[in-house]
Amino acid sequence: MDHRPRLYLCTAFLCGVLLTLGFKDFYPDLERRFRRRRTPINSIAGAGLASKDKIDLEDLTRTHGKDKIANVEVAEGIEACVGNTPLFRIKSLSEETGCEILGKAEFLNGAGGSPKDRVALNMIKTAEEQGLLTPHSGDTIYEGTVGSTGISLATICRARGYLAHICMPSDQATEKSELLLKLGAVVDRVPPAPIIDPMHFVNRARNLAADHTADPTRPGRGYFADQFENQVNWQAHLEGTGPEIFHQCGGRIDAFVAGAGTGGTIAGVARLLKPKLPDLRVVLADPQGSGLFNRIKNGVMFDTLEKEGTRRRSQVDTIVEGIGINRITANFEAGRELIDDAFKVTDEEALAMARWLAEKDGIFVGSSSAVNCVAATKLARQLGPGNRIVTILCDSGTRHLSKFWDRAGNVGGITDSKLDEMISL
């Protein structure tokens, strides 16, 4: 019997299997070549590519056992958390006035939680460069302050190898001195006194620093930071706060509003912004009892509350802490000629604004921030809708619980406050 037909059939079958397996690997390449010849080279996908160009594709869905993470610079110490604070729209005030009122969130500075972080860091760095301070040598920094500068100094002193000795008026909120003690600072709470009194908190700090340096039995030196007259104060804002505001606003700002204690913030920011924006209005926010309002308006330091027999305390007669003063400082004078106008803010207006911001925006700030926002609102009413106004939110209300916020009271369930009823426009 002839078996050749069966042999031919088996051979054909095997050849078919082998051909199929080979074509399976060859066909995709053939298909790609065919599609490439039919696709115009100037299509969106192939724009700018010649047919001979080679494209290397990377499968980003596979990590081959290792996560691909971009290199991120790690900050060095708490000092690196100072500056670059957010600027945000204060919604309620913007909607009420028709202006865009922006708050520079200086309470988010990462060391002491206020714009004084910038000043403290700049003063210490400058003193180090001048050979006036040496880390871990026993050097002690002395300062007279109502609180915020002291807290910033105490924090950065610990970070850079120094001790801090803070002198402050005894009528300031107690939580400030308690925080200073927790940070390891020595705290002198002295009775409020005129600047001519040796026991004024600034004079006491200066004298203690000199005594320390002159005492051979004490380690290190005493360095008096002198925030009111040390001009690296305003320079910190010229180099930091001012440029940040300019860039965050894209160079479009109609007015800048700030209070003044040492005067460093308003002077430094004004000196940066005014040359860039000649039409910018720089406006001082001044609490009751302070003489700076009259310094801007009339060229003299005087307030009606300074009349004989009217003063209740030896400093500025206000519940507000951190801004307001009745003497000329080198830092304020550095920018005084650039200040276009000033608004006086009463204690009641500041208290009402603090409650308003908490009620309407969930913003819980201290007394100086409230004063700034009152002045920004008054200016917005004066300028009319469509203007962009920047102000400073200095510190958190948590530093003002025992005094300012104790008088302001709880916001409670109130949701229907009227701005025009709270502020004298």
For residue 329, the tally of other CB atoms under 10 A from its CB is 23
Specify which residues 189 forms β-bridges with: 168
Distance CA 421, CA 355 (A): 13
Residues in the chain: 425
Distance CA 172, CA 11 (A): 104
Per-residue pLDDT, 71: 77
CB 77 within 8 A of CB 159: yes
Per-residue pLDDT, 282: 98
Per-residue pLDDT, 310: 45
State whether the Cα torsion 276-375-116-339 is positive or negative. Answer: positive
The residue annotated as part of the active site, out of 104, 116, 360, 378, is: 116
| Residue 94 neighbours by CB under 8 Å, 6+ apart | 100, 101
**Measuring CA to CA, which residue among 230, 264, 236, 260 is closest to residue 142?**
230
Per-residue pLDDT, 81: 96
Distance CA 292, CA 288 (A): 10
Q: Show the beta-strand stretches assigned E in 347-418.
A: 388-393
- Would you call 205 helix, strand, or coil by DSSP? helix
What's the one-letter identity of residue 143?
E
- Hunting for tokens 């025992």 — which residue is that? 402
Per-residue pLDDT, 165: 98
State whether the Cα torsion 381-383-388-393 is positive or negative. Answer: negative
Q: What is the pLDDT along the chain (425 residues), one digit of tens a residue?
A: 555 666 666 676 666 655 665 555 555 555 555 555 554 444 434 444 444 555 555 555 555 555 667 778 898 999 999 999 999 999 999 999 999 999 999 999 999 999 999 999 999 999 999 999 999 999 999 999 998 999 999 999 999 999 999 999 999 999 999 999 999 999 999 999 999 999 999 999 999 999 999 999 999 999 999 999 999 999 999 999 999 999 999 999 999 999 999 999 999 999 999 999 999 999 999 999 999 999 999 998 765 655 434 444 444 579 999 999 999 999 999 999 999 999 999 999 999 999 999 999 999 999 999 999 999 999 999 999 999 999 999 999 999 999 999 999 999 887 888 888 888 76
C-alpha separations of 311 from 181, 288, 375 in Å = 31, 12, 24
Per-residue pLDDT, 424: 76
- Would you call 184 helix, strand, or coil by DSSP? coil
Per-residue pLDDT, 4: 63
Per-residue pLDDT, 412: 86
Q: How far is CA 31 from the centre of its chain?
A: 61
**What DSSP state is assigned to residue 396?**
B
For the whole model, what pTM was predicted? 0.81
Ramachandran angles phi, psi of 257, nearest 5°: -125, 130
CB 174 within 8 A of CB 145: no
Distance CA 12, CA 103 (A): 85
**Measuring CA to CA, which residue among 162, 170, 176 is closest to residue 201?**
170
Per-residue pLDDT, 56: 59
Alpha helices, H only, 237-289: 242-248, 264-276
Ramachandran angles phi, psi of 270, nearest 5°: -60, -40
Per-residue pLDDT, 48: 44
Distance CA 114, CA 119 (A): 10
Instruction: Give yes or no: 24 in active site.
Output: no
- Hunting for tokens 């850079």 — which residue is that? 160
Q: Given the DSSP bridges, would you call strands 281-287 and 186-190 parallel, antiparallel or unpaired?
A: unpaired
